[in-house]
Amino acid sequence: MAAGKHDTAHAVPAPRPGDALIVVDVQNDFLPGGALAVPRGDEVIPVLNEWIDRFRAVGLPIVATRDWHPPDHCSFSPQGGPWPVHCVAGTHGAAFAPGLRLPPDTIVISKATRSDREAYSGFQGTELAERLREIGVRRLYVGGLATDYCVLNTVRDALREGFDVIVLRDAVRAVDVQPGDGERALAEMERLGARIV
Ligand code: VGL
Ligand code: ZN
């Protein structure tokens, strides 16, 4: 597949056994009004809700990752990091978006929980890969926030771990610190072997 050419016209494959849905960091602080708001980040919620319902209907696993920082995390500006204080563990800002219909049996993965380590990827410093393998998952459908940070890095690690990856284009939004970061991240994920649908 040509790099940078997203196959948006292609139908999304139907979820089947061996698939899991990964909802990346759909937390209050990444939504409009939050501490590190992703522009139009709230627009992913209804799209992800449809995917959640679809995976639930056929009994396939749903994973939700969350940024879950200590109050003095190294990525925060008071510590010299690039971001405002956000997603402090246990706060309202770190809670999943109230409109997200996560089922009670959602597999929740908390990441970047150590003060001295940044982790954009849901696989970094977590048991995500092992948990997925244990339940026979081989292919991941990925959506959430933000395209250019946690989605990109989660997809990169997923591919490295040997999972097939489908990125749900309508279900991701970018921070776009530099204009075009989100588009470049999608092109990079495709180059690495993800399907962008
Ligand atoms: C994220 C910036 C800082 C993300 C997390 O979830 O994409 N971005 N922490
Ligand atoms: Zn963070």
Ligand 1 mean position, distance from CA 58 (Å): 30
Residue 11 pLDDT:
80
CA 152 to chain centre: 8
Sequence-ordered alpha helix ranges (H) in the chain: 44-57, 128-134, 152-160, 181-192
* CB-based contacts of 192, cutoff 8 Å, min separation 6: 155, 156, 159
* CB-count exposure of residue 56 (10 Å: 0-12, 13-18, 19+): middle
- Residue ID of nearest Cα to ligand 1 atom 4: 150
What is the C-alpha to C-alpha distance for residues 102 and 27, in angstroms, rounded to an integer?
12
Residue 84: predicted pLDDT: 98
Cα of 172 from ligand 2 centre, angstroms: 17
Q: Which domains does the chain have, with CATH numbers?
A: 18-196 (3.40.50.850)
- How big is the CA angle at 12 (ends 109 and 145), to the nearest 5 degrees? 35
pLDDT tens string, the chain, 197 residues long: the values are 444 455 444 688 999 999 999 999 999 999 999 999 999 999 999 999 999 999 999 999 999 999 999 999 999 999 999 999 999 999 999 999 999 999 999 999 999 999 999 999 999 999 999 999 999 999 999 999 999 999 999 999 999 999 999 999 999 999 999 999 999 999 999 999 999 99
Residues with CB under 6 A from ligand 1: 25, 36, 67, 75, 83, 120, 145-146, 149-150
Query: Best substitution site from 28, 156, 175 to test ligand 1's pocket, by max atoms within 8 Å of Cβ?
Result: 175
* pTM, two decimal places: 0.95
